[in-house]
């Protein structure tokens, strides 16, 4: 009886874990709370394959227990040899055909979904749909660039998209292999340096509302010491608001500093040579660092901290501590920065906006 004890402990621990981990599914980050057409299709495939696996486990377990109980050696049976079924044509047919049928049930929807999810014809030249939004995604060591080639605008770290329609992506990497993943909205896709991968995603308004208007995006390919911190955010907007944002981005002038402190910050932006890598014009694309034109409207600092002035200063003061191995560290004398300078620089950066 005592031998059962460790097993019981294991199962109760397992049960507790399942209960606790079930609470981890957040609507802005969980594959199990699909928020769009692609995520729905993939979620249903997961359910189907899980159902088939569970069915197989149940049937096999029942058969196993039945056989063990029913055909036990009983007292007095020692001399009897049971019927031998080795090489039974009938049985072999059964356990060959059943798995094939199960695989067909799984394969038909998987293959059809694969073709559907790979249909990027609206972004292709010959079959171009002028209304389709296309985004060029470039993954860089620990930050993401989102360029809208048809609209002539560019953002860093935050992807803005219209809801309830297919958005098409060209994915590539500038340095090493990364992987673009918005867990709630669809499966991941690698970003490579040598070729462009393409796919589409749809961001449902309903899912967006559940996620409070902001999805979390991740890098899903081990790319260096800050791989786990290579996050981005996705803000889906109803089409009208999206169009408004686009036009604000297109017409944005480079933000003028709104106060004396911000004006000092603007000067420091040049003194510390930030301007050499970061663009502050919403139409300018630069491969060196994220575009900061709408920095003041972002929802996180360095992709990982809550968007507060304090966190911004923490990041500027010691980028290496926040994101080891990032390219901003050691590109300026951050250790020599005074509190006053940090205040001024933060004031200036927080004032960079394209919308009122």
Q: Which residues bind ligand CUA (CB under 6 A)?
A: 139, 178, 219, 221-223, 227, 230
**What's the min distance (Å) between Cβ of 227 and ligand CUA?**
3
CB of 133 to ligand CUA, least distance (A): 24
Question: Which of the 8 DSSP states describes residue 125?
Answer: S
The least distance separating ligand CUA from the CB of residue 174, rounded to whole angstroms, comes to: 11
Q: How far is the CB of 136 from ligand CUA (least distance, A)?
A: 17
Cα 328 versus chain centre, distance: 24
**Residue placing its CB nearer to ligand CUA in the complex, 28 or 144:** 144
Name which of 173 and 342 has its Cβ closer to ligand CUA. Answer: 173
Residue 194 or 256 with smaller CB distance to ligand CUA: 194
Beta carbon of residue 7, minimum distance to ligand CUA (angstroms, whole number): 39
Residue 119 vs 190, nearer CB to ligand CUA = 190
Minimum CB distance to ligand CUA, residue 212 (Å) = 25
Residue 191 or 294: the one with the smaller Cβ distance to ligand CUA is: 191
Q: Can you give the chain as a three-state secondary structure string? A: CCCHHHHHHHHHHHHHHHHHHHHHCCCCCCCCCCCCHHHHHHHHHHHHHHHHHHHHHHHHHHHHHHHHHHCCCCCCCCCCCCCCCCCCHHHHHHHHHHHHHHHHHHHHHHHHHHHHHCCCHHHCCCCCCCCCEEEEEEEECCEEEEEECCCCEEEECEEEEECCCEEEEEEEECCCCEEEEECCCEEEEEECCCCCEEEEEECCHHHHHHCCCCEEEEECCCCCCCHHHCCEEEEEECHHHHHHHHHHHHHCCCCCCCCHHHHHHHHHHHHCCHHHCCCCCCCCCCCCCCCCCCHHHCCEECCCEECCHHHHHHHHHCHHHHCCCCCCCCCCCHHHCCHHHHHHHHHHHHCCCCCC
In whole angstroms, the minimum distance from the beta carbon of 320 to ligand CUA comes to 17
Closer of 25 and 225 to ligand CUA (Cβ)? 225
Query: Which lies closer to ligand CUA via its Cβ, residue 47 or residue 222?
Result: 222
């Amino acid at each position: 009886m005592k031998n059962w004890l460790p097993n019981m402990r294991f199962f109760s621990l397992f049960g507790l874990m399942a209960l606790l981990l079930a609470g981890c599914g957040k609507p802005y980050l969980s594959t199990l709370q699909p928020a769009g057409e692609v995520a729905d299709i993939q979620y249903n495939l997961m359910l189907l394959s899980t159902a088939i696996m569970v069915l197989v486990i149940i049937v096999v377990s029942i058969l196993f227990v039945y056989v063990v109980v029913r055909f036990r050696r009983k007292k007095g049976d020692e001399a009897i040899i049971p019927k031998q079924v080795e090489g039974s044509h009938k049985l072999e047919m059964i356990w060959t055909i059943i798995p094939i049928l199960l695989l067909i049930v799984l394969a038909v929807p998987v293959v059809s979904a694969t073709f559907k999810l790979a249909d990027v014809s609206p972004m292709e030249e010959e079959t171009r749909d002028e209304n389709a939004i296309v985004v060029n995604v470039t993954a860089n060591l620990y930050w993401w660039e989102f360029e809208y080639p048809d609209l002539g605008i560019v953002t860093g770290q935050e992807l803005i998209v219209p809801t309830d329609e297919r958005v098409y992506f060209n994915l590539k990497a500038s340095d090493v292999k990364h992987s673009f993943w918005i867990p709630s909205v669809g499966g991941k896709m690698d970003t490579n340096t040598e070729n462009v991968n393409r796919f589409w995603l749809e961001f449902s308004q309903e899912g967006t509302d559940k996620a409070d208007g902001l999805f979390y995006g991740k890098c899903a390919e081990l790319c260096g010491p800050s791989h786990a911190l290579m996050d981005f955010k996705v803000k889906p907007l109803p089409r009208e608001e999206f169009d408004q944002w686009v036009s604000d981005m297109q017409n944005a002038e480079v933000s003028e500093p709104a106060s004396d402190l911000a004006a000092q910050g603007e000067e420091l932006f040049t003194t510390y040579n930030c301007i050499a890598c970061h663009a502050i014009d919403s139409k300018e694309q630069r491969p060196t660092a994220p575009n900061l034109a709408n920095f003041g409207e972002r929802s996180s600092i360095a992709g990982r901290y809550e968007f507060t002035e304090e966190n911004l200063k923490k990041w500027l003061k010691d980028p290496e501590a926040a994101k080891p191995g990032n390219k901003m560290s050691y590109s300026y004398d951050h250790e020599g920065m005074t509190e006053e300078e940090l205040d001024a620089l933060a004031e200036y950066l927080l004032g960079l906006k394209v919308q009122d």
